[in-house]
Structure 1
């Protein structure tokens, strides 16, 4: 009896772990939109920091990110336990914010060109002015990056909570904690690699041997396109994930997209492919429209506040 009970316990544990692994994969896939944005934003946050201080700054931000998630995970578990009715609204808010962030990023160079130019000039002035306290400058960069991370981490936790909301408490705890650690290690490990890519390339260009020098030049040249690719991929993923969250939360949109996918599924030869692609495309388009509407509302509120302050 004891042996069979032990085997049943082991089987139960294996089943739970298998369920947790599946849910973690699903949650990781759903948070992919935030991941690309997180990578690009955090790599940009390190810009302007002296080369020898880049990795310490990334480490400091990574520690801050873990602190953020140590606050957000218990908060998410408390909401799930005591106010589960808030999960869907929070998920919808997170999806709308993702879409807004994507549209705002597309419109950024038109809406904030002057501020971006001023920030770039301030960064150059700080680096070339010996009177500037670089320790204080570095601390400001770290605080800004941790604040940005808190917003992105909140999105990740909200999306993950929506995935595991119907699961037992222990499964929620394991998945939320697992996603938090995986995302933090993955994001900041990649950020560290990205910000040092050009340094590695420069090191290799100074090594003897044509092969090493050629590889070094390739790495140096690859760094800027990689940053641009991450920014573009992150933006597209934000629309796909954010739009998908919104359409799943709005029955009329969800049913319309299901009907569209069903209607193209019968196309000879490529029906299966179209049935997989069309929902993603429609989710993305819905996300762009939703993000544009939120941006318009935010800009209108900002304009009204500005007019009120002027009077």
Structure 2
């Protein structure tokens, strides 16, 4: 009997060790996949604050919470089943799907560059501020769907050869961790100016200086984050396109970039990474610019307006197709 109990305890210990190892494996895999998707995470964090621009301070956190809930639904209920189904039935489709996302990120990044230099982003922010709360939340969740799809597909790509259950658990962990990181950071960012105002209204001189510094710094911080997000989209999008093209058989671009990075490897790992990143960024900007030109600057035929329709100045109205 004692020997039987000892054997049972040994089995329990082995099961515990296996469970512990599985937890460690999931944590390590989730950390790796989250790191791979870091560029999209930065972009998601940079994009979201604009959806609460002009909103009453008391409604900022409730709106962010609603968007965060929608983000979890996007990742768990919509994207996760599609990703796992594709990986099981048509794993070859993951690379083209990932490249479509890379193309979208490159387009978004290039469009932000154009808006940054043309000043159109200010018009977009004014229009966003004029929308009602439900419209803002719906728009934010729609944008999140695209960015979350990128995060989940990148994450799945890192564990695509693992078991189904490992893929499922890792993606669920990534979904919750990334959502908490992104919208937790957004909540902190949008409320820091309020914290600064409260501190600056106090009697303590140090707190007043700190509060004034926060109020002054936050617009610059948000602007800096938006620029980082812009470059992150171009870098991640370009890298996805570069690696995807290599996996699909177009080896020349990847080998060229890899060769340049190899030539500077003796200068250190950071320099090698910097070269690869800059090359990916340039590729993303080039591809994205082509898409921006096609979508925004290609002449479109005018559709005929209904008979008798006139614009605000009384002239016959026309509309785009």
Q: TM-score, normalised by structure 2?
A: 0.83
> 2-side partners of 1:85 and 1:121: how far apart?
41
> 1-side partners of 2:278 and 2:162: how far apart?
30
The structure 2 residue matched to 1:294, chosen from 291, 296, 310, is 291
> 2-side partners of 1:34 and 1:220: how far apart?
27
The residue aligned with 1:303 is 299
Given that residues 197 and 223 in structure 1 are in contact (C-alpha distance below 8 angstroms), is that contact kept between their aligned partners in structure 2?
A: yes
Residues 272-308 of structure 1: per-residue CA shift (max 9 Å, x gap): 44333222221222222222223233336x6346589
Bigger CA radius of gyration = 2
Given that residues 31 and 159 in structure 1 are in contact (C-alpha distance below 8 angstroms), is that contact kept between their aligned partners in structure 2?
A: yes
The residue aligned with 2:115 is 108
1:202-241 mapped onto 2 (5 Å cutoff): 202-241=197-236
> 2-side partners of 1:80 and 1:18: how far apart?
23
For these two proteins, the number of residue pairs brought into alignment is 295
> 2-side partners of 1:276 and 1:54: how far apart?
38
From the two aligned structures, give the one with the greater helix fraction: 1
Q: Which has the higher contact order (CA 8 A, sep 6+)?
A: 1
The residue aligned with 1:174 is 169
> 2-side partners of 1:212 and 1:2: how far apart?
61
1:216-295 mapped onto 2 (5 Å cutoff): 216-251=211-246, 252=251, 253-266=253-266, 270-295=267-292
Given that residues 38 and 152 in structure 1 are in contact (C-alpha distance below 8 angstroms), is that contact kept between their aligned partners in structure 2?
A: yes
Given that residues 109 and 234 in structure 2 are in contact (C-alpha distance below 8 angstroms), is that contact kept between their aligned partners in structure 1?
A: yes
> 2-side partners of 1:61 and 1:2: how far apart?
49
- Computed over aligned residues only, the root mean square deviation of the Cα atoms, in angstroms, reads 2.5
Residues 157, 8 of structure 1: alpha-carbon distance in 2 compared, 3 angstrom cutoff: same
Residues 257-276 of structure 1: per-residue CA shift (max 9 Å, x gap): 2222222224xxx2544333
Residues 306, 244 of structure 1: alpha-carbon distance in 2 compared, 3 angstrom cutoff: farther
The structure 1 residue matched to 2:38, chosen from 24, 32, 35, is 32
The residue aligned with 2:4 is none
SS of equivalent to 2:189: helix
Residues 264, 214 of structure 1: alpha-carbon distance in 2 compared, 3 angstrom cutoff: same
Per the TM alignment, residue 18 of structure 1 is displaced from its structure 2 partner at its CA by 2.7
> 2-side partners of 1:264 and 1:40: how far apart?
32
Unaligned runs of 5+ in 2: 1-6, 305-318
SS of equivalent to 1:208: coil
Given that residues 40 and 150 in structure 2 are in contact (C-alpha distance below 8 angstroms), is that contact kept between their aligned partners in structure 1?
A: yes
The structure 1 residue matched to 2:144, chosen from 137, 143, 149, is 149
Given that residues 37 and 235 in structure 1 are in contact (C-alpha distance below 8 angstroms), is that contact kept between their aligned partners in structure 2?
A: yes
The structure 2 residue matched to 1:77, chosen from 79, 84, 91, is 84
